[in-house]
């Protein structure tokens, strides 16, 4: 995930990073949870910033190298 984010420019929706070949709802939920946890860990390390306006809004992230 780190390499995907470092290649991006500007703020991107977390869901833009999910794999495109997800087959079913369970796999989608698993991928979403995994990417969310990975983004939290990268934010904790200082590699990226996260943004969410309110509880039900989308989550956006940006690499600290692209700020």
Domain of residue 33, CATH code: 1.10.10.580
Q: What is the pTM of this model?
A: 0.85
pLDDT of residue 59: 96
Could you give the number of structural domains in the chain?
Answer: 1
pLDDT in tens, 18-59: 999 999 999 999 999 999 999 999 999 999 999 999 999 999
How many other C-beta atoms can be found within 10 angstroms of the C-beta atom of residue 53? 9
**Distance in angstroms (rounded) separating the CA atoms of residues 54 and 39:** 18
The boundaries of the domain holding residue 56 are 2-66
pLDDT of residue 66: 77
pLDDT of residue 65: 86
pLDDT of residue 37: 97
């Amino acid at each position: 995930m780190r390499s995907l984010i470092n290649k991006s420019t500007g703020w991107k929706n977390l869901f833009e990073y999910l794999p495109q070949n997800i087959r079913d709802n369970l796999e989608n939920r698993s991928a979403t949870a995994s990417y969310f946890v990975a983004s939290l860990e990268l934010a904790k390390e200082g590699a990226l910033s996260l943004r969410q306006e309110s509880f039900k809004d989308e989550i956006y992230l940006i690499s600290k190298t692209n700020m």
